Amino acid sequence: MKKKKIIIILSAVLLLGVFIFFTLKQDNKKAIAVQMEKVVMRTLESKVYAAGYVQPVVKVNISANVSGEIVSLNVREGQEVKKGQVLAQLDRVMYLAEVEQAKSYYRSCLSARDVAEKEFRRVEELFRAGNYSESQYDQSKAQYEQSVATLEQAAARLKQSEDNLRKTTLVAPIDGTVIGLKKEQGEIAMGSTFQADVVMTVADLSGMEVEVDVNENDIVRVELGDSVDIEIDALGKKRFAGYVTEISQLATTSGAGTQNAVTNFKVVVKMTDIPAEIRSGMNATVEILAERKENVVSVPIRAVTVRPEDKVRKIENGRKDKPVLQEVVFVVDSDTVRAVPVELGISSEDYFEVLGGVDTTHTIVTGNHQALTFDLQTGTAVKDAATVKQKGKARKS
C-alpha cells in the first residue's frame, strides 16, 4: 500500500512537470526572438555621395583662328610649356602676302589723303578771300573727307591682315602641360573667326578638381566650402581631401518625360591633396560632408519602421481617409514591446539622430527585419535572440 502511494505521488509530480514544460514551451512560441540594443550617444556625419571625373582647374584649348597647314609642331603630349612659348606654326605665305598688300594700299591711301588735305586747305583760303565759290569749297571738303575715310579703311585692313598673320603662330597662354594633341604636323587647321579648330589642350596640373553630378534630392544639403573625401578609381582605396567650390543653379535632366527621368546638378570639388599619379579624365567618387553632429541620441537605421497612427480609418465628410503612417521604434519593456513615435534628424550611413521619442534610458529592438516590418505591435511578447542563442549553445555542449 505504501509502495502504491509513492507511485501515485511520483506520477503526479511527473504530470505536473510535463504540464509546466509544455506551458513554458507554448509561452516561448508566443514570444518573438528579436535583437535588442541600448540607445546611446554617437557622433553622426551626414554625407552626400556622387560620381564624376577629374579635370584641371585651368584648362585651355589652343585653337587655330585662321586656316592653314601646320608646318611645325614644337611640342609633344605631356610636355611642360611656359607662357608665350611657341607651340605650333601654320603656313604664313598667304598671310604675309596679305600684309604686304594691305601695307601698300595703306601707303597709297595715305598719299591720297595728304594730297586731298593740301588741296582743301588751299581752296579754303581762297574761299575765305572770296576767290572761290561755296560749291567749289564744298566739293574740295568732300574729297578730303572721303580720302580720310578711305585711309581709315586701309588702316583697318592692315590691322586685320597683321592680326591674321600673328594667329598663324600658336603660343602657350599659360604655364602648364600639354594634355592633348588634336592635330599632327602636315594637317590642315580649318580655323575661322566664328569656329575655332582645336589643335591642342594645355592645362595647369598643379590645380585639379572633380566635377560630379548630385541628385536633386541631395543637392539641397550641399553648400559651398563643404569638406569632401575623394576616391580616384584608378588609385584604389586611397582618399584625398577637397572642398566644394561650385554648385550649379541649372539642372541637367536625363530621360525627361519618362518614368526613369533623373535630375542632377553639377558640383565642382577642388582637390587640396593631389597625387602625382593623377590624370585628367580619371573617374572619381566623392563623399561630401554635408553635416556633422557630436554626441547626439541615435538609433540604428534598421530599427526605425512605420506603423499606422490609428488602425481604424477615420471617416470624414463621407469618405475614408488613408491611414497616416508614422515613424516608430519598438522600446523593450521587460518581456514586451511598445511602439514609440520618434522625431528624426540627420542620418549617417547606419544611424539616425533622434530629436525626440527615446533617450539613452531605453532599450530598443534592432532586428529581425520580419519582426520589425510586420510582426511587432505594442504589447507583443519578445525575447532576446542573443540569450536564446547562448542557451542553445549551452544545451549542445
Give the tens place of pLDDT for each residue, 109-161.
999 999 999 999 999 999 998 898 999 999 999 999 999 999 999 999 999 99
β-sheet bridge partners, residue 254: 262
Q: In 166-204, which positions are buried (b, 16+ CB within 10 angstroms) versus exposed (e)?
A: ebbebebeeebbbbbbebeeeeebebeeeeebebbbbbe
Per-residue cell: 334: 521587460
Q: What is the rounded average pLDDT of the residues 17-35?
A: 59
pTM check: above 0.85 = no
Band the pLDDT of 394: cuts 50, 70, 90. low
- What are the start-end ranges of the H helices in 83-133? 93-128
Q: In terms of domains, do 116 and 132 share one? A: yes
Q: Identify the burial level of 76 via C-beta atoms within 10 angstroms of its C-beta, where 0-12 means exposed, 13-18 middle and 19 or more buried.
A: exposed
**264 shares a domain with 246:** yes
Write the pLDDT tens digit of every residue in 262-276.
999 999 999 999 998
Which grid coordinates belong to 182? 588634336
Residues with Cβ within 8 Å of residue 338, at least 6 apart in sequence:
330, 331, 378, 379
Mean pLDDT across the chain: 88
Same domain as 283, residue 239:
yes
Q: Are strands 262-271 and 283-300 parallel, antiparallel or unpaired?
A: unpaired
Does residue 220 lie in a domain region? yes
Q: Which of 263, 295, 327 is the endpoint of a domain?
A: 295
- My answer on whether 159 and 98 are in the same domain is yes
* Residue 133 and residue 225 in one domain: no
Q: Domain range for residue 35?
A: 31-42+296-396
pLDDT for the residue numbered 395: 65
Q: Which of 261, 295, 329 is the last residue of a domain?
A: 295
Number of structural domains (the chain) is 3
Q: What is the β-pairing status of strands 262-271 and 197-215? A: antiparallel
Please indicate, yes or no, whether residues 230 and 313 belong to a single structural domain of this protein: no
Whether residues 227 and 277 fall in one domain: yes
**Pairwise CA distance, residues 392 & 390, whole Å:** 5
CA distance linking residue 329 with residue 307, whole number of Å: 10
Decide if 242 is inside a domain.
yes
Count how many Cα atoms sit within 13 Å of the Cα of residue 260 in the half-sphere of its side chain: 2
Task: Decide if 173 is inside a domain.
Answer: no
